[in-house]
Amino acid sequence: MAPNGTAIRAIRQGKSLSLRDLAELAHCSAATLSRIERGVTQDPGEALLSRLAKALAVPVDDITQGGQMAATTAKEKVPPREVPYPGTPEGELFHYTPEEAAGFLPWSALQLRRKAYAREIPYNDGAKRVSFTGRDIREISEMTAVRPLSETTQRRSA
């Protein structure tokens, strides 16, 4: 049986019980109860659910998700979209999210966003969202490339 954390919290608050009060009545820690309410703990065990139901004076079914309910509320995984390689003609003008661009660059998506907001790297901000074209990714890649010393001195003298 999977606990319905939202229902547990609503019933607890409706009865004006604090998290600690209910945890004490159910003989569990406040941290465990908090994890159950937030949905972090998937299976706390039937004994604990029974104690929670008894402490709240409700049937166990009121604080658990039935088989049908759990199936309908489960999020369906969205397959990742197909993205072209930045060096291809299709990838030249394709708009990559920071998460997609991070696969081609030495930074995480969060670092890419921060660098874009600080205007340290080229990016597009259409619709107020940071995105990168294949051209942007190639420019950033060239900026971060480590070159041999002989090639570096030749570029400086030219």
Tens digit of pLDDT for each residue in 4-43? Answer: 888 999 999 999 999 999 999 999 999 999 998 988 877 8
CA 45/CA 19 separation, integer angstroms: 19
First to last CA, the chain: 71
Look at residue 111 and tell me if it is in a domain.
yes
pTM attached to this predicted model: 0.46
CA 36 to each of CA 12, 21, 95: distance values in angstroms, whole numbers, following the listed order: 13, 15, 40
Look at residue 84 and tell me if it is in a domain.
no
pLDDT digits (tens, 9 = 90+) for 107-149: 999 999 999 999 999 988 877 789 999 999 999 998 888 878 7
Answer with the one of 23, 41, 73 that is the final residue of a domain: 73
CA 77/CA 16 separation, integer angstroms: 37
Q: How many domains does the chain have?
A: 2
Answer with the one of 73, 98, 114 that is the final residue of a domain: 73
- By residue range, what is the domain housing residue 6? 2-73
